[in-house]
Amino acid sequence: MIAQLWQYVLAGVVVGAIYALIAAGFVLIYQVTGLINFAQGEFAMIGAMTSSALATGGMPVLEAAAIAVLVASVTGGLCYLLAIRPARAATGVTLIFITLGLDVALRGLGLFVWGTNPLSLPAFSGGAAITVLGGALPPQAMWVLLTDLLVFAALYLFFRHTYAGTAVRAAVANPPIASTFGIPLRTFAFWSFVAAAAIGGLGGVVVAPITSATYDMGLTLGLAGFVAAVLGGLDSLPGALVGGFVLGIVEKLAGGVLSTGWEQGVGFLILVLVLVLRPQGLLGRAARRA
Amino acid sequence: MYGRFGLVLLALVAVLVWFLPSYYTGLLTQIGLYALVTIGLNMFMGYAGQVSLGQAAFVGIGAYTSAALAVKGHVTPWLGLIAGALVAALVAYVLSFIALRLRENLLALATLALGIVINVVFNEWEFIGGSSGFKDIPGFALGAFTFDQRAYAILAWALVALGIWFAGNVVRSSFGRALIAISAGELGAQTLGVESERLKRQTFVLSAVYAGVAGAVYASSFSYIDPSSFSFLLSVNFVLMSVIGGIRSLWGAVIGAAVVVALGQVLQNVVPLVLPSARGDFQQFFLGVILIAMLILLPRGITSRLREARA
């Protein structure tokens, strides 16, 4: 029994790592623009589908992965330029609907380009399953966790130890005043979309060998990413990391103990509880804009 | 005015169904039911200034209540329709205590999440058929007459006429003006004595009643439902109808429903000619693009343009 539960926890850690990446994208965009980007999961779909399609066509996995992240980033930038920026005078609800439209459009585009059949991506490295305290993890899990480590370390270094990162934090803290100091808010908004899409795309690439890639995977991943981000507080990158792991583990435990259909349901029940009981999230400060 | 136009539309539908092929009669029913949901949604989103991304769940609750009563309890769909509306209202009432404390972004998230949780319940609850849903749901009947396609179209549009008449009275009453005040600024409305919590709750429940009624008729007219009929994508479609027609407009709801259904038909027929490899739900792409384009170019919907032209 305990061994079984432990196995669920390990599986939860792996999906949680993916959720954390998508949640990080939400947090980036939310911090810089005050916008919840409902299309975030689709960037992961684009990453997963592009890399799988290229690898199926015979390209080496790491090359395919790099191109996929690039494609996702370009998509993210285009989303901002074509849909968000022209409507920047709009109010909150309109912008929510616009990102909702982006989500639907990108999923439809994925269907156009890749069809309904699932694609698969070979694991980045072969080898036997890794055993952790009696539970088994696929070798790909190490790549997933390594990606999380690198991405969050890079974000930390960027925000804490670079000039540009400090400028972004200033822009987040007080947009009008940052603007009078010559900080280009709109450029930052653009790059937040590019970065969020790149991170989301990377999440899709590393998860593809585990779950395989389908055109409609973005919705589920995106929603889980939301829950993780809200759980962590929406304006906190460490919160996104913690929220991702908490959600992944709880989902897999619920899925294992109840039935897999409940995985998503339990995630949303947590979301609702958090929204009611602690809207600022586990690690977030009191909500500013929400 | 709303009541009279509603009756004109009903009369038009009642005539059209005798000339249209049954496929198009089915589409008319679909438009009517979607319009009904969107009228309710527009009161909540357009007038009260809130947002719901889970409206499909209330349609599902209405459909499942009526279907379960009819299939398991042999209850007539007429009572099932009332029961569906009541259960949807009850669920909305309970959920409002969670959801309506939130605003904008978080309200959107919460309603989306609740919609998906309800869909999971449909999927996992074996008593109501689990993932396979209900089939052979009994139809409506009046005496010895069992409803056919034509009768369903007329029923749907009779409900639209009734729904738009009622909604028209609501939005033009002091209640409706209070809703508009809430959407303009909740705090300001409160200082003027508007009980925004109660009003938002009542509007949310009312929108669920509209959705529940539409769901109950849908279940009987298609005689088959499963959880995928009430997915997140349907909720997005309602948002699209609302935005296309004009979010603060009751006629907009009818126009939006008609445009979205017609658009779906056109895309289904035209896209394969241009792109033979396309298959599945490829219309999604266009629906998304149209939603974005509408919001950028015509954020208050088609009806806003009509109103300007008339003024």
| Domain boundaries defined on chain A | 20-216
For chain B, how many structural domains are there in total? 1
As to burial, measured by CB atoms within 10 angstroms (0-12 exposed, 13-18 middle, 19+ buried), residue B94 is exposed
Chain A interface includes B263 (CB < 8 A): no
Chain A interface includes B142 (CB < 8 A): no
Contact (CB<8Å) B284/A101: no
Chain B interface includes A32 (CB < 8 A): no
Q: Is residue B55 part of a domain?
A: yes
Kindly report the average pLDDT of chain A as a whole number: 86
Measured CA to CA, the distance from residue B33 to residue B154 in angstroms comes to: 11
Measured CA to CA, the distance from residue A110 to residue A9 in angstroms comes to: 32
pLDDT in tens, chain A (290 residues): 788 888 888 889 999 999 999 999 999 998 888 888 989 999 999 999 999 999 988 888 889 999 999 999 999 999 999 998 888 777 778 888 899 999 989 998 998 888 888 888 888 777 777 777 777 788 888 888 999 999 999 999 998 889 888 888 888 888 888 888 888 888 888 999 999 999 999 999 998 888 888 888 888 888 889 889 988 888 888 889 999 999 999 988 888 887 777 777 788 888 878 877 776 666 665 544 43
Shortest alpha-carbon distance between residue A2 and chain B (Å): 26
Chain B interface includes A107 (CB < 8 A): yes
Closest to A194 measured CA to CA, from A98, A70, A24, A100 = A70
- The tokens describing B166, both together, are 């009622």
Q: Is residue B257 part of a domain?
A: no
Chain B interface includes A27 (CB < 8 A): no
Q: Is residue B171 part of a domain?
A: yes
* One-letter amino acid of B237: N
Locus of tokens 């960027």? A158
- Which residue from A36, A93, A109 is facing B109, i.e. has the nearest CB? A36
* One-letter amino acid of B66: S
Output the pLDDT for position A232.
Answer: 85
Q: Using one digit for the tens of pLDDT, what is the confidence trace for B268-309?
A: 887 777 766 666 567 788 888 988 998 888 877 777 777 777
Closest to B210 measured CA to CA, from B59, B16, B17 = B59
pLDDT above 70 as % of chain B: 97
Q: Using one digit for the tens of pLDDT, what is the confidence trace for A207-254?
A: 888 888 888 888 888 888 988 998 888 888 888 999 999 999 998 888
Angle value at C-alpha A8, between A4 and A12, nearest 5 degrees: 165
Q: Is residue B279 part of a domain?
A: no
Element at A13 (helix H, strand E): helix A2-33
Cβ atoms of B159 and B31 closer than 8 Å: no
Closest to B300 measured CA to CA, from B259, B235, B260, B242 = B242
Q: Which residues in chain A touch residue B296, judged by CB atoms under 8 angstroms apart?
A: 83, 86-87, 90, 98
In this predicted complex, what is the ipTM?
A: 0.84
Measured CA to CA, the distance from residue B215 to residue B66 in angstroms comes to: 8
Q: Print the domain residue range for B107.
A: 2-232
A contact residues 204-263, partner B, Cβ 8 Å cutoff: 219, 223, 226-227, 230, 259, 261-262
Q: Which residues in chain A touch residue B286, judged by CB atoms under 8 angstroms apart?
A: 105, 108
Residue A82 CB coordination number (10 Å): 14
A contact residues 167-206, partner B, Cβ 8 Å cutoff: none
Interface test with B, best of A97, A109, A263, A271 (most B CBs within 10 A): A97
Chain A interface includes B284 (CB < 8 A): yes
